Chain A
Amino acid sequence: MAVDRRGFLKFVTGVSAGIMVTPVPWVLLDDLSIWTQNWPWIPSNVDGPNTFVSTVSKLCPSCVGMKVRLVGDRPVRILPDDNHPLSKGGISALAVAEAQMLHSPARVRRPLKRSGDGAYVAISWEEADALLAEKLGSAKGSLACVSGDETGTINEVLSAFTARAGSQNFYLMPSEIQPAAKALAAMGGEGQFGYDIENSDYVLAIGANILESWGTAIRNRAAFKDAHPHGQEPTVPYVYVGAVQGNTAAGADKWIAIKPGTEGAFALGLAHLLIKSGASSYASDFSAFASLAAGYTPEKVAELTGASADGIKALAAELQKARRPLVITGSEFGQGTPVGTVAAGMAVNLLLGGLNRPGGVKLLPVAAPVVDSALSRAQMMEKDFVAYLSRINAGKEKAPEAMLFYEANPAYGLPQADKMAEVLAQVPFKATFTTFLDETAMLCDLVLPVPMGLERLDDVATPYGSGSALYCLARPVAPMPANVRPAADYILGLAGKLGYSLGFGKWEDVLKAKAQAMGANWKSLMAGDVFVSTETVGASLSFGADLIAKSLTAKTAEGDFALAPVHKLNMGTAKTAIPPYNNKTIRRWELQGSEIYVAMNGATARKLNVSKHDKVVVSNKSGSIVARVNVFEGIMSDTVAVLMGLGHTAFDQFSKGKGENVMQLLTVGFEPGSGQSVWAMAGVNISKA
């Protein structure tokens, strides 16, 4: 059969049309595209039945309540919990990443022992037990123990263990709660300060980063949310006074810039104006306080703090107009606050009639310890770990024979961190109970892996900042890895072996006793409920005038520039480092590659003759860091803001080797009057690198 041209064209058209019409090539293409996207090395999702368990975060310093979504037995999401008073439908940037952290590459999965050449070798729990019992046995009378858990009853177990080992050296890692407790003691009160932010009609935060990291931050933010109806005028004004226009200032309706470390003076300026317009008190030392405050005229305070005199006057007038104002003082980065600063803020509350009234400061009851010979909370607050290390460093006290760390990372998280690590090096035997291989673990002879909060039974009792005494349980929602042991049970067992009687054999029984002491019902706690008490402790506080006066005589910092560390929960804590999922929340001009950016305003940059991206050395007698400059106008003049949470030398690829640790630049001083170690006011010199 001959094929002519026309016939051929018809044939081609027919074939083309056929191809167009038949689905075969399209199906093949589709299959191909799907096939090329199904590589075996890309994980696929696994389905299963969904369950939700309410619990509380032991990782996030805000003690946020959370609902864990499980698929089968795997926790996959951390969700906010509408019913938890410390969540109120919100979640922190740290806690929301907690499920992922169960599988963090930095997790310690079996006991490790440091061998002679400094390398860590995995050992069995039996070996670890034997080593620990031997070392602690021979260190009897010379043991120190440091806990990084501020709210847990495990501190009773640890402090009782330390006491039974013949030592008084039980410490908490420093935070805002210790200066607050000391201020309360100096003012003649008992219990714990509680802040009734929900019922306040005017919220003034001096230093304290209430909408990001201070106290029960997520609960604070729920109050902020209610006070700021979407798209409308706020019903309760929030004012932030601090050196950096950070996250709290971004939400606040007004930001007043002051120099870092001048929070106490600013509060006294307000007290001065309140007294001048008639505020008074029956407190025994009111006249002493009034004469102290008399020296803090708006002009003087303006000079000390860098705020404007008119701004201070306007603020005092607004406070006076409010019916239920609340003043919250603290350090911008959650530690190192002088006791006098807290007391000065409290003095303003007293002058505003804010003690034990709705929307003011409440004195919350604190339950007595349930474990024999454990320290009470008040006694724990008295203990100052930084002061202890400083005494050892100065040769005024002997280093202990052995030191135990529980979820604490002093080698990274203390001021002058390197110096502190040097002091720790003087301790012959160190062991840590930890979830992650952190900087402190890298100094220890023995690393004992403990379960994460999601894998263990634990508790939270009235975190600092809470508006009422409360108690809740962290319940195990994820299976515990094979080779980790819950620390509390382990210590109770160890105590038994060493012949120290703590009165309990099982951790669960300690918690049951604690629940009872708090007045809570165990069954309902185990069902995920939170026990909240409406009780307050009656008291007539004094002003602590003497303490405030002495505190304010503290020398101003050395150096030409003030340092303002910035603490944000997305960066994690010294215990967690940066959670893998949180890297992306670090801003462009906070970190580039491994280089940290520090921020200053344009005037400061001009003074230094530097511009954005220039390399500078920020230094003082404690240490120095190399950084690049970011020009950001939301910072007090002559001040440099440095993000906390960078510069890890341990943990994993998500944290290690990124930027510098600002703690190196924080110099410890001792507050006149209270003797408390303080580092909220550091000076630095800055030069072009």
Chain B
Amino acid sequence: MEAKEFKVRWVMAIDIDKCTGCGACMVACQAENNLAPVEDASFKLRVMNWLVVYELSNKQPFPDHDIAYLPRPCMQCGNPPCVSVCPVIATDKNEEGGIVSQVTPRCIGCRYCMAACPYHARYFNWFDPSWPEGMEKVLTPDVSVRPRGVVEKCTFCHHRFMQAKDKAIVEGRDPEALNDGDYVTSCAEACPNGAIVFGDVNNPDHAVYELARSQYACRLLERLHADPQVYYISRREWVRRQLDNYLENEQVKG
């Protein structure tokens, strides 16, 4: 299947060498998208997280050990494996910008998409979300709270995209040609290291245009041809090697 062509394609270019694993992006994501806190978050399979910062290791013994952190949102794949399996079209890749939507009220909770996603980017609400008394006052008005029984995932803070477009329209600008920085995700905004850069990869005026074309840029499991809209940059070969499970003697890019 050919990937759909979009005039605007929102991507992240994450410099793994700049991420120190602080977790600010994860907390910012939860707060922005109204994910509920949990008492015990140590059973990682059940914990809802649209963005997870994974730890990578070069697997060398001390003192040759090296570490890296990999923030993983939804890749907003160009050929999203999750979309084709959804029986009720609760998830789709249609809108200009290339963000894979997730319409939770339409989701019937069959979880086919979770099985199909190679990046474990999708989460199922096993329980109703609950906030300690009073904390629901901090919910943002932008993203509705999801009930138990539906699947959810990162949307590249889609509501911020809509707000940026609205603002452009009000100001008489072309909403299909937003300026670099008009629309950024909550995680990219929060990161003190600037490890996550966000923008339109088709627009030469956006920083990601060059970054995605960097010799050090590659995507997760690229050889699955899901065509992700998240680029990872690392000057370290061992990191790039792990991003696509390269064989020991295989050549990697960069």
Give the docked Cα–Cα distance between A288 and B199 (Å): 58
Q: Residues of B contacting A30 with CB < 8 Å? A: 106
CB of B175 within 8 Å of the partner chain = no
Find the B residue at minimum CB distance from A37: B147
Interface centre among B28, B137, B193, B214 (most CB of A within 10 A): B137
The listed residue with most B CB atoms (<10 A of its CB), out of A34, A45, A46, is A45
Contact B197 A581 (CB under 8 A): no
Does A230 interact with chain B (Cβ within 8 Å)?
A: yes
Tell me whether B26 and A584 are in contact (CB under 8 A).
Answer: yes
Known contacts A90-B193, A228-B17, A231-B214; decide if A634 and B65 are in contact (CB<8 Å): yes
B190 an interface residue at 8 Å Cβ cutoff? yes
Give the most central of B19, B27, B197: most A CB within 10 Å: B27
Answer whether A43 and B192 are a contact pair too, CB < 8 Å, given A250-B21, A251-B20, A593-B42.
Answer: no
Is there contact, CB below 8 Å, between A44 and B191? Answer: no
Cα distance A36–B233 when bound, in Å?
43
Q: Are A80 and B62 in contact (CB under 8 A)?
A: no
**Cβ contacts A186-215/B at 8 Å (1 or 0 each):** 000000000000000000000000011000
Nearest neighbor of B128 in chain A, beta-carbon distance: A42
CA distance A568 to B60 in the complex (A): 24
Residues of chain B with a CB closer than 8 A to A74's CB: 137-138
Chain A residues near B19 (CB-CB < 8 A) = 250-251
Nearest neighbor of A655 in chain B, beta-carbon distance: B39
- Do B42 and A592 touch across chains, with their CB atoms under 8 A apart? yes
Check A325 for interface membership: any CB of B closer than 8 A: no
Establish whether residues B141 and A586, one from each chain, have CB atoms under 8 Å apart when the complex forms: no
Does A393 lie at the interface of the complex (its beta carbon under 8 Å from any beta carbon of B)? no
Contact present for A225 and B147 (CB under 8 Å)? no
Residues of A within 8 Å of B144, CB to CB, are: 44-45
Contact status A93-B61, CB under 8 Å: no
Q: Which residue of A lies closest to B106 (CB)?
A: A33
- Interface secondary structure of B, over-half rule: loop
In the complex, the answer to whether B37 meets A580 with C-beta atoms within 8 Å is yes
Inter-chain contacts of A582 with B (CB < 8 A): 23, 27
Stretch with Cβ within 8 A of B (4 or more), from A100-108, A380-388, A402-410, A445-453: A100-108
Chain B's interface size range is 35 or more
Across the interface, which residues of B come within 8 angstroms of A218, CB to CB? Answer: 192
Q: A79-B189, A80-B192 are in contact. Are A231 and B41 (CB under 8 A)?
A: no
Known A-B contacts A37-B105, A230-B18, A601-B62; the reply to A634 vs B67 at CB < 8 A is yes
A581 is contacted by which of B30, B44, B141 (Cβ under 8 Å)?
B30
Q: Is A587 on the interface with B (CB-CB < 8 A)?
A: yes
B140 touches A45 (CB 8 A): yes
Known: A93-B22, A221-B192. A583 touches B138 (CB 8 A): no
Residue of A78, A224, A583, A592 with most partner-chain B CB within 10 A? A583
In contact, B141 and A569 (Cβ under 8 angstroms): no
**What residues of A have a CB within 8 angstroms of the CB of B38 in the complex?**
583-584
Question: Which of A156-164, A241-249, A297-305, A428-436 is found at the contact surface with chain B?
Answer: A241-249
Residues of B within 8 A of A71 (CB): 140-141
Nearest chain B CB to A66's CB is how many angstroms away? 10
Q: A96-B27, A588-B44, A633-B57 are in contact. Are A37 and B32 (CB under 8 A)?
A: no
CB contact under 8 A between A581 and B37, given known A77-B140, A105-B133, A228-B17:
yes
The CA of A251 and the CA of B193, in the complex, are separated in Å by 9
User: Any chain A CB within 8 A of the CB of B116?
Assistant: no
Inter-chain contact A45/B20, CB cutoff 8 Å: no
Docked Cα-Cα span, A633 to B67, in Å, equals 9
Q: A37 and B39: CB pair below 8 A?
A: no
Within the complex, the shortest CB–CB distance from B18 to chain A, in Å, comes to 5
Q: A44-B145, A221-B192, A584-B38 are in contact. Are A601 and B61 (CB under 8 A)?
A: yes
Nearest B residue to A656 via CB reads B39
Q: Which of B62, B137, B216, B217 contacts A636 (CB 8 A)?
A: B62
Residue B134 lies at the interface, judged by CB distance under 8 Å to chain A: yes
A293 to B239, CA, bound (A): 40
Which residues of A are found within 8 Å of B28, using beta-carbon distances?
91, 96
Q: Which residues of B have CB within 8 Å of A222?
A: 192
Bound together, the chains give a CA A228 to CA B189 distance in angstroms of 17
Q: How far is the CA of A375 from the CA of B191 in the complex (A)?
A: 38
By the criterion CB–CB under 8 Å, are A583 and B41 in contact? Answer: yes
B62 and A635: CB pair below 8 A?
yes
Q: Please name all residues of chain A whose beta carbon is closer than 8 Å to the beta carbon of B128 when the two chains form the complex.
A: 39, 41-42
In the bound assembly, the distance between CA atoms of A92 and B189 in angstroms comes to 12
Mask: chain B, 140-154; 1 = CB below 8 Å from A; 0 = not: 111111110110000
Q: How far is the CB of A68 from chain B (nearest CB, A)?
A: 11
Q: Given A37-B150, A250-B20, A584-B26, are A99 and B192 also a contact pair (CB < 8 Å)?
A: no
Q: Is A180 an interface residue (CB 8 A)?
A: no
List chain B residues, Cβ under 8 A from A90: 24, 190-194
Closest to B137 in A: A74
Query: Is B237's CB within 8 Å of the partner chain A?
Result: no
> A654 contacts the other chain (Cβ, under 8 Å)?
yes
| Contact residue among B39, B68, B136, B216 (Cβ-Cβ distance under 8 Å from A250) | B68
Contact with A along B89-127 (1 / 0, CB 8 A): 000000000000000111010000000000000000000
User: A47 interface residue, CB < 8 Å from B?
Assistant: yes
Q: Mark A588-631, 1 if CB is under 8 A from B, else 0.
A: 10011100000001110000000000000000000000000000
The verdict on A581 contacting B27 (CB below 8 Å), with A230-B15, A247-B21 known, is yes
> Which residue of A103, A225, A245 is within 8 Å of B135 (Cβ)?
A103
Q: Say if the beta carbon of A457 comes within 8 Å of chain B.
A: no
Q: Tell me whether A583 and B194 are in contact (CB under 8 A).
A: no
Interface string of A44-70 (1 = CB under 8 A from B): 111110000000000000000000010
> How close is A519's CB to chain B, nearest CB, in angstroms?
29
Distance in Å: Cβ of A571 to nearest Cβ of chain B = 9
CB-based contact A231/B216 at 8 Å: yes
Q: Report which of A46, A79, A602 forms a contact with B62, defined as CB distance below 8 A.
A: A602
Interface string of A74-86 (1 = CB under 8 A from B): 1111111000000
Q: Given A582-B23, A583-B39, A591-B42, do A102 and B132 touch, yes or no (CB 8 Å)?
A: no
In the complex, which of the residues A91, A233, A581, A593 contacts B235, with contact meaning CB atoms closer than 8 Å? A233
Please indicate the chain A residues that have their CB under 8 angstroms from the CB of B193 in the complex: 90, 211, 221, 224-225, 228, 251
Q: Mind listing 29 A-B residue pairs with CB under 8 Å?
A: A42-B128, A42-B147, A43-B139, A44-B145, A45-B139, A76-B139, A90-B24, A90-B190, A90-B193, A92-B192, A93-B27, A100-B37, A105-B133, A217-B192, A221-B192, A225-B192, A231-B211, A581-B27, A582-B27, A583-B37, A584-B30, A585-B27, A585-B53, A586-B41, A602-B61, A633-B61, A633-B65, A634-B65, A636-B62
Binding site for A on B (CB under 8 A): 13, 15, 17-24, 26-28, 30-32, 34, 37-44, 47, 49, 53, 55, 57, 59-63, 65-69, 104-106, 108, 128-147, 149-150, 189-194, 197, 207, 211, 214, 216-217, 233, 235
Beyond A76-B141, A105-B133, A231-B233, 18 additional pairs, beta carbon < 8 A: A45-B142, A47-B141, A74-B138, A75-B138, A76-B138, A79-B190, A96-B24, A221-B20, A230-B13, A231-B214, A233-B235, A251-B17, A580-B135, A584-B47, A588-B44, A593-B40, A603-B61, A633-B65
